[in-house]
Amino acid sequence: MNSFIPWIGGKRLLRKTIIEMFPKNFDRYIEVFGGAGWVLFAKDKHADLEIYNDYDGQLANLFRCVKFHPDEVKKEITGVLNSREFFDDFKSQLDMRGLTDIQRAGRYFMIIKTSYGADRKSFGGTKKNLIKSTDYLSEISNRLNGVVIENRDFERIIKVHDRPGALFYLDPPYHGTEKYYQTGFGDADHIRLRDCLKEIKGKFILSYNNDDFVRELYQEFNLIEVSRRNSLLERYEGKDMEYKEVIITNY
């Protein structure tokens, strides 16, 4: 199934390739930098234990509320128009004291869906059927049934869940694109991630942008180059634009 939200760096186009590279045997699946969870949602089940994690607290709250209260989140959006006024109001209310988790989830959902390129900052101004997208929340809720939702820094999640039968799928903010995420992520974090992955007993599969810094960091691991079309660049440049990425594994 598809995710219920667009997300900057979402792996909608790469999910099939990533899953084909999964090892044969693992008994727990951990999506460390969850985002919209495109790889998680691509299969009905990856393993007996599945964990979705993202450090963005509003996003983890949205996933949790959709899992447990899809109808209530839907009610929050009912009557909301795809308009700049709603968008600006919801953005300014998001961190307000007194909102319930479900109210925050509804607002964040609307902000993601109606922002420009899911940047959550500027109003997109394009046609969106918000009601149709909320109808999908019950299916998402069923899929998330049994998925543990976490809101931690990657290092903590990796350390807690590491064991020989674990598979970590990691999709960190790409090197140079960190400013697009609320959480921030600098070179020290990229190095911290590599150091952490060096020590694990489980298996990891990591997607990154193909740049010198990344290739240097992971030179001791298996690295496969992949490319996909970049629709956003194509829209502006008006020609085929390929985006080069790497998939790195320790198996």
Ligand X SMILES: C[S@@+](CC[C@H](N)C(=O)[O-])C[C@H]1O[C@@H](n2cnc3c(N)ncnc32)[C@H](O)[C@@H]1O
> In the structure encoding, which two tokens stand for residue 230, read together?
């970049």
171 binds ligand X (CB under 6 A): yes
Q: Which of residues 173-232 bind ligand X (CB under 6 A)?
A: 173, 181, 183, 185
Q: How far is CA 56 from CA 11, 151, 218, 242, 250, in A?
A: 17, 7, 26, 29, 27
Q: To the nearest whole angstrom, how small is the minimum distance from the Cβ of residue 170 to ligand X?
A: 9
- Spatial contact of 39 and 148, defined as CB atoms under 8 Å apart: no
Which H/E stretch holds residue 228?
A: strand 222-229
CA 117 – CA 136 distance, rounded (Å): 20
56 binds ligand X (CB under 6 A): yes
Q: Which is nearer to ligand X, 55 or 87 (CB)?
A: 55
What mask of x and - would describe binding to ligand X in positions 31 to 50, judged by CB under 6 A?
--x-xx-xx-----------
7 binds ligand X (CB under 6 A): yes
Torsion, Cα of 150, 102, 179, 3 (10° steps): 70
Q: How far is CA 75 from CA 104, 107, 110, 139, in A?
A: 12, 11, 12, 16
54 binds ligand X (CB under 6 A): yes
* Exposure on the CB side of residue 82, measured as CA atoms within 13 A: 15
Q: Which of residues 97-156 bind ligand X (CB under 6 A)?
A: 153-154
4 binds ligand X (CB under 6 A): no
CA 85 centroid distance within chain: 27
Q: To the nearest whole angstrom, how small is the minimum distance from the Cβ of residue 239 to ligand X?
A: 25
Q: Which is nearer to ligand X, 70 or 172 (CB)?
A: 172
Q: To the nearest whole angstrom, how small is the minimum distance from the Cβ of residue 238 to ligand X?
A: 26
245 binds ligand X (CB under 6 A): no
Q: To the nearest whole angstrom, how small is the minimum distance from the Cβ of residue 201 to ligand X?
A: 20
- Enumerate binding residues for ligand X (CB under 6 A): 7, 9-11, 33, 35-36, 38-39, 54-56, 153-154, 171-173, 181, 183, 185
